[in-house]
Chains A and B, each alone.
Chain A
């Protein structure tokens, strides 16, 4: 189904790992869309109209119908544009893909974030431990596969872009050794494979400004202690 730029919109913010997920899926499937950059400190009326419940990005708008929550958006994109599938056809494998993606959101993203961006030291320590345990589960799940999706990257890999691109950045800022080649050899190898994939490479935000932004966030947090 042909789509022109008017029909498909993505409200996002450069530097958001959740927005990046959607961009990777759209790129992989060759879907053209209009990207609308949101200023999250001054949310537009459009964003508030399209996502009144959470007021967050990404919001995917197809023929004026909005969808929020990155994993929900990925499922919608998969069902609407069938080329280069990101989910397997077998129901059990699909359930596993959904499980690990949810796991990444529930256990890795929050804990990794709080390992860095929490003022309280005890909280940080607790989250570092949780992140470590969660990453270990993923390391074990990956085994010797090239991608979580097998020979080609899929739903879980896309969800895990946070691990590949964002964790190394935020851990550098905080001086943490959370995700390293030494501690997680398979996951690390996966991250390099994934980041260098031609489709993914084009969707990653520019590192320097994103790094600077998070560094600023970290400094203001630690300075206000």
Chain B
């Protein structure tokens, strides 16, 4: 029986990119469906009624939601190739902890910096930089968070690279200056085809965010 795999996603979503990288790593063929978040499809609302968010993976008609959960599912189902989570339980716990940290901190802090001005904006910027500095510190001298190989935490974090240009431009700082070791890690990740072919173009992401900001400002008048 052929596997039917569908991904409901949005091209610029870091969370969606995690799933796309995981599927690429495992060599899984799937149908990609681009969602319009201002006009969500019936399928999305049916498959993720709780949150109405992307990404949603639909495997043989059954939906799985939340990017970190989807990636673990992919790892467990297509387990014969390219393991994503480490095999050691303590390493697994650390990877899960840090992906949870990224999920709790990065996006909300970015929004704080993005949509505010003056002191609040500066505070948001400082916090965003400190989050990435901590992640850089956690990497240490390893090639990847997974050690010698690209793993769950690498996959969890790398999609945010597509947003660095946006963060830098809105925040007026340079990741290369603030987190040089992290940028080295980015370069190593980008050598993997599954990553470089999946990640969105950072300039396109920036244009998209500009468009969003314009829409927000217009709706506020």
Contacts and interface: CB of A to CB of B under 8 A. Distances in A.
Contacts of B90: 62, 65, 67, 76
Contacts of A99: 64-66, 69
A64 to B, nearest CB: 11
Interface string A57-76: 00000100101110111011
Contacts of A71: 100
B134 interface: yes
Interface stretch (A89-97, A166-174, A202-210, A213-221): A89-97
B32 interface: no
Contact of A102 (B66, B76, B89, B92): B66
Task: Tell me if A's interface is mostly helix, strand, loop or mixed.
Answer: helix
Interface in B22-68: 49-50, 59, 62, 64-66
B216 interface: no
A111 B66 CA distance: 19
B64 A95 contact: yes
Contacts of A92: 59, 62, 64, 73
Contacts of B96: 69, 72, 75
A79 interface: yes
B77 interface: yes
B40 to A, nearest CB: 18
A154 B100 CA distance: 21
B101 interface: yes
B1 to A, nearest CB: 15
Task: Tell me if B's interface is mostly helix, strand, loop or mixed.
Answer: helix
Interface size class of B (residues with CB under 8 A): 20 to 34
Contacts of A72: 93, 96-97, 100
Interface size class of A (residues with CB under 8 A): 20 to 34
A95 B89 CA distance: 18
Contacts of B62: 92
Interface string A98-113: 1100110001000000
B93 A94 contact: no
A75 B70 CA distance: 16
Contacts of A73: 93
Given A73-B93, A99-B66, A102-B66, A94 B73 contact: yes
B60 to A, nearest CB: 9
B72 interface: yes
Contacts of B92: 75-76, 79
Contact of A67 (B64, B66, B93): B93
A101 to B, nearest CB: 10
A223 interface: no
Given A69-B100, A103-B50, A137-B50, A95 B93 contact: no
A190 B76 CA distance: 30
Contacts of B77: 91
A52 to B, nearest CB: 9
Contacts of A91: 73, 76-77
Given A95-B70, A137-B50, A68 B97 contact: yes
Given A69-B96, A80-B89, A94-B76, 7 more contacts: A62-B90, A68-B97, A69-B100, A76-B89, A91-B76, A92-B73, A107-B50
5 contacts: A68-B97, A76-B93, A80-B89, A94-B76, A95-B72
Interface of B: 49-50, 59, 62, 64-66, 69-70, 72-73, 76-77, 89-90, 92-94, 96-97, 100-101, 134
Interface of A: 53, 62, 65, 67-69, 71-73, 75-76, 79-80, 91-92, 94-95, 98-99, 102-103, 107, 137
